[in-house]
Amino acid sequence: MADPNKPRGAFAPWDRRELPGAFDVAESAKRVGHYKWIEMRLFEVLGGWVATVPELDVKLRLGTHCYHHAWHAELWHKRLPELREMNPDRLTVPPNEELVAFVAKLSEPEAPGLTIEKLVGAYRVLLPHLISAYTYHRNNTSTITDAPTIRALGFALQDDLDDWRDGEMLIQSLLEDADEVRRAANWQAELETLLVAAGGIAGPGTLGHPGARTADGELHPSWASDARSEEVKP
């Protein structure tokens, strides 16, 4: 029987979580605000598209995925006050005008014959970027101090990876000839260009790109993550 008086460490031997992380509270909150903004735009547009697509299976998937993104937006909405942002609307903003332009373009297709464009925008451009940004955040933030964000990121990533696969399979099932393949590729390139101009869904430094700068021209904090990690190491 285990000795109840025997001291044990706070971290089990297999628990390798560490304190250092790439983001301080303010940076994490800023990113979370951008996540909420883009998740809102995504669930709105998926909901709006439901009525415009004639393919029954696509219609039902869009309806289902619409809720997933609304729920992610709600997760971020609830996380913001925990990150010292008592007015969540203040940080529920796009990182820049380029991302607004991207969303406007993404939302453009309406006609019933444009299901390929709708799906490509959501599942070949936006969702992969969302997954990348969330993965970057999850892998770089402090596994101890920012655990609630990591948990929410895990839920969102699980949905997004499943939905990405769903969407990609729908696209593959709709592409029937070279013209449609070109249509999909051209639309993807157009949207990807806009998203690259925005620097990603959280703006420059979304993935901690080398040398990424903030809007003020400063070195993006996420790029300085290694140095910061050293500083906060106990």
Q: What Rg, from alpha-carbon coordinates, does the chain have?
A: 20
Tell me the C-alpha distance between 234 and 218, whole Å.
27
* 3-class SS of residue 73: helix
CB 166 → other proteins: shortest distance, Å?
A: 12
Provide the β-strand partners of residue 219.
213
Stretch that binds other proteins, among 9-17, 68-76, 78-86, 158-166 (CB under 8 A): 68-76
Give the Å distances, CA to CA, from 105 to 22, 58, 63, 183.
Answer: 32, 20, 21, 15
Structure tokens that stand for 79 in this block = 């996380």
Q: Which is nearer to other proteins, 99 or 212 (CB)?
A: 99
CB 164 → other proteins: shortest distance, Å?
A: 18
By CB under 8 A, the count of residues binding other proteins is 35
Tell me how many degrees the CA angle 54-39-83 measures, rounded to the nearest 5.
165
CB 30 → other proteins: shortest distance, Å?
A: 19
CB 71 → other proteins: shortest distance, Å?
A: 8
Name which position in 18, 82, 97, 110 contacts other proteins (CB under 8 A): 110
Site string for other proteins, 23-62 (x = CB under 8 A): -----------------x--xxxxxxxxxxxxxx--xxxx
Provide the β-strand partners of residue 36.
none
Query: What phi-psi label fits residue 217: left (phi over 0), alpha (psi between -120 and 50 degrees) or beta?
Result: left
Tell me the C-alpha distance between 159 and 44, whole Å.
17
Q: Which is nearer to other proteins, 18 or 89 (CB)?
A: 89
Name which position in 34, 69, 129, 220 contacts other proteins (CB under 8 A): 69
Is 195 an interacting residue with respect to other proteins (CB under 8 A)? no
Task: Give the interface with other proteins as residue ranges (CB under 8 A).
Answer: 40, 43-56, 59-64, 66-71, 73-74, 77, 107-110, 112
